Structure 1
Amino acid sequence: MAKGFTLSIYPWVYVARFAEEWTEEYVEKPHKSPAEEAELDEAHRDELLAKRNSFPDLPLVNYTTQYGMGCFEGMKAFPQKDGRLKLFRPDQNAARFYRSMKGLMMPPFPQERFVEASRQVVARNKKLGFAPDYDSAWERDDFTSGESIYLRPFSYSEPAIGLGIAKHPFVVIVSTPVGSYFAPGSSKAVVSEKVRAFPGGTGWIKCDSNYVVPILEKKAAEAAGYMETVFLDAVEHRYVEEGSSCNIFFLLKNDTLVTPALGNTILPGITRSSILKIASEMLGVKTEERKISIDEAMEDAKECFVSGTAAGLSHLESITMKDKTARFGNGEMGELSRSLLKTLKGIQYGKIEDRFGWMVDVE
């Protein structure tokens, strides 16, 4: 079973480059059959995977590697019972990637090309056997153990060393097998005293550099026995904004589902928008997008969870800030959180009708 993120890049990758216009190619990296690769010893398998993660035509020194001037997306393709694979809302990833590149003053990547390239990468790898098969056993835990394909489209600058912006960027799409994002065990969170994003910055862009502070804080939190870290606003350090790499939700005692309103410090998550739609239109839950203080969240919430492409929907059993801890649902996933998870995963894996037209056939 795939566990979280791995660097087991599948053989077919996509590379585009902007000069006067976008040009593209699909590249088949070295590989054996999936069965043959599974039989390799660790050293030979690592050697093969290293070749798949090698892009000699991409410059080492550039605006991306030197200054974090790049952006990326995270998206998934899900195996279906009938043997097909389907992408979840790739048009939304395409639109956000377009906005991110434009926000970093690069030539933006065409959205239609983004969707088609994503489909092709998955389809080509599937023909080689690099794709998970649907397992009905996943239904027993609402697909929390389900496997899928993770796609990582990202921008990459042309050669450069001075301060500047990419005028001739690359766009690369790779894919890997992926399983559960959060490890079993603790689902506790701690409030960070550091700042993830500030007004007028790049918090709304899925920008490489945005992840430095969250990664450092998440690792510090894990070392202290927590699963996640929660960030507050930069101005008053009072209002909840995000987790380390995910949006956050609170079900209040009056049965209203609240998530922080979008602004230029919060990433517009695609799973976030999907959960809001499922909650209001399928489950009949009142939803609000607004400011929510950490005090209100800790005093008045009865359920709490984070959402994202990698995380899916993961409940938080508690949030700690300094010497105060708020616990939710006696440490167990709440009823609404479970219903949302079950519905979201059911749509993604094809068990529940996709009434919103979110799932896109790969072939």
Structure 2
Amino acid sequence: MNFAGSFAVEPSSSPVSAEERGRMLEDPGFGRVFTDHMATLRYSEGQGWHGAAITARRPIAMQTTSSVLHYAQEIFEGLKAYRRPGGGAALFRPRDNARRLQSSARRMAMPELPEELFLDSVRALVRTERDWIPDGPEGALYLRPFMFASESFLGVRPAGEYLYAVVASAVGAYFKGDAPAVTLWVTRDYVRAAPGGTGAAKCGGNYAASLVAQAEAIRNGCDQVVFLDAIERRWVEELGGMNIFFVFDDGTILTPPLGGTILPGITRDSLLQLARDRGLNVVEEPYSIDQWRADAQSGRLSEAFACGTAAVVTPIGAVKSADGGFTIGGQAAGPLTSRLRTALVEIQRGDAPDPHGWIEQVC
């Protein structure tokens, strides 16, 4: 046994062979190819955080009365490790993920994982699984830290015991297909979050609530759903799992303000910074669905894109709803969308300088 930071490393006794791993990495898709190991850490009242380990990835044993199954105390994160030009691997803004996990924990009445324990967990797992990072322009190791209430009881109160774990998945591009841009469905019947709710927390319930609307989008021939605000059903908020940006013909970039109902995306924040670095006019203010339609039809809106850790930056080409649809620009990645995506990806992959200290080399 050896140690990586706070985590004891117990290598798997039956890892995937190098030959089989190579076959799996040829076309990993997204979220289907998992590595040999995982990180785990437990919390209990009175003892605090304990038992940090990197072990073989295996099923989690839990009681049928575990609190998470009945009261949904659960949060998670998503970040990537990238292969570096000179070898090794690096993480992108991992401290921001650690802090967002803490924010989600506060909202869900869960104990906050100390920042350094979060960082130790993802660093140790990346060092153990560096050979699982696929080659190619879209290849990365996607890390999924998650935490849930593991105490066995029935009763509506915060649990006293929790399990934190991190699993890793070798990934390629998030969206498959030849379409140059995605098509969105505007749902009028469902909302993702309301003021005072959990919209700013990265918890599974937010995504579960979006699935019926996502199914509606697919039935209508769309790739993703876009949600409006819960009060007026007028203001654009975000997609089922991504933030959204609008680009106008004068070079202005607009994205809806956070305000508690929108997840504070780390990719979103990075793109805002990169746009400001380039002297672009960036605004965070409400934008209505009616204005979106009018601006797209008049040509004032030249581009739109969605962003997130999984998909990075994805052009939006068309929007559909029960009221009819409209297209945006050339229904492909516009020049500003492409420039911002390239700037972000080049920093993530070590092909451009990192002026903001976002990259952490871990091995």
TM-score range, shorter chain: 0.7 to 0.9
Match of 1:14 among 30, 39, 43: 39
The residue number in structure 2 matching 1:164 is 157
Offset of residue 60 of structure 1:
4.3
Contact 1:318 1:331 in 2 (8 A): yes
Q: Distance in 1 between matches of 2:232 and 2:312?
A: 29
Contact 2:256 2:285 in 1 (8 A): yes
- Is 1:176 matched up with 2:181? no
Where does structure 1 lack aligned partners over 5 or more consecutive residues?
Answer: 30-51, 139-145
Q: 1:196-225, CA deviations, whole angstroms, 9 ceiling, x for partnerless residues?
A: 001110111001111112222223312321
Contact 1:107 1:167 in 2 (8 A): no
Q: 1:263-300, CA deviations, whole angstroms, 9 ceiling, x for partnerless residues?
A: 1111000000000001111x221101111111122222
**Higher normalized strand content (fraction of residues):** 2
5 Å matches for 1:181-192? 181-186=174-179, 187-192=182-187
TM value normalised by structure 1: 0.86
Match of 1:5 among 30, 37, 55: 30
Q: Distance in 2 between matches of 1:59 and 1:118?
A: 27
TM value normalised by structure 2: 0.86
5 Å matches for 1:15-34? 15-19=40-44, 20-29=47-56
Q: Distance in 1 between matches of 2:60 and 2:107?
A: 26
Contact 2:54 2:124 in 1 (8 A): no
- Is 1:253 matched up with 2:249? yes
Contact 1:9 1:53 in 2 (8 A): no
Q: Distance in 2 between matches of 1:253 and 1:63?
A: 51
Offset of residue 251 of structure 1:
0.6
Offset of residue 349 of structure 1:
0.8
Q: Secondary structure at the match of 1:307?
A: strand
Q: Secondary structure at the match of 1:18?
A: strand
Q: Distance in 1 between matches of 2:355 and 2:63?
A: 44
Q: 1:150-194, CA deviations, whole angstroms, 9 ceiling, x for partnerless residues?
A: 000001112233322122211111111011111224511110111
The residue number in structure 2 matching 1:44 is none
- Is 1:117 matched up with 2:121? yes
Q: Distance in 2 between matches of 1:304 and 1:67?
A: 37
The residue number in structure 2 matching 1:143 is none
Offset of residue 322 of structure 1:
2.2
Contact 1:17 1:23 in 2 (8 A): yes
The residue number in structure 2 matching 1:93 is 97
Q: 1:34-79, CA deviations, whole angstroms, 9 ceiling, x for partnerless residues?
A: xxxxxxxxxxxxxxxxxx34122x4443222223221000110011
Q: Distance in 2 between matches of 1:160 and 1:4?
A: 38
Q: Distance in 1 between matches of 2:71 and 2:310?
A: 25
Contact 1:188 1:227 in 2 (8 A): yes
Contact 1:233 1:241 in 2 (8 A): yes
Match of 2:132 among 113, 130, 133: 130
5 Å matches for 1:208-223? 208-223=204-219
The residue number in structure 2 matching 1:75 is 79
Contact 1:2 1:147 in 2 (8 A): no
Q: Secondary structure at the match of 1:122?
A: helix
- Is 1:197 matched up with 2:193? yes
Q: Distance in 1 between matches of 2:29 and 2:194?
A: 30
The residue number in structure 2 matching 1:103 is 107
Q: Distance in 2 between matches of 1:180 and 1:196?
A: 25
Contact 1:317 1:329 in 2 (8 A): yes
Where does structure 2 lack aligned partners over 5 or more consecutive residues?
Answer: 1-25, 296-300
Compare 148-157 and 179-188 and name the one that shifted more.
179-188
Contact 2:37 2:129 in 1 (8 A): yes
- Is 1:55 matched up with 2:60? yes
Contact 1:16 1:24 in 2 (8 A): yes
Compare 157-166 and 285-294 and name the one that shifted more.
157-166
Q: Distance in 2 between matches of 1:328 and 1:157?
A: 44
Match of 2:285 among 282, 290, 298: 290
- Is 1:66 matched up with 2:93? no
Q: Distance in 2 between matches of 1:24 and 1:96?
A: 23
Offset of residue 23 of structure 1:
0.8
| Runs ≥4 residues deviating over 3 A | 1-4, 58-61
Offset of residue 249 of structure 1:
0.4
Q: Distance in 2 between matches of 1:216 and 1:125?
A: 35
Q: Secondary structure at the match of 1:248?
A: strand
Contact 2:33 2:171 in 1 (8 A): no
Offset of residue 81 of structure 1:
1.2
Match of 1:240 among 229, 236, 239: 236
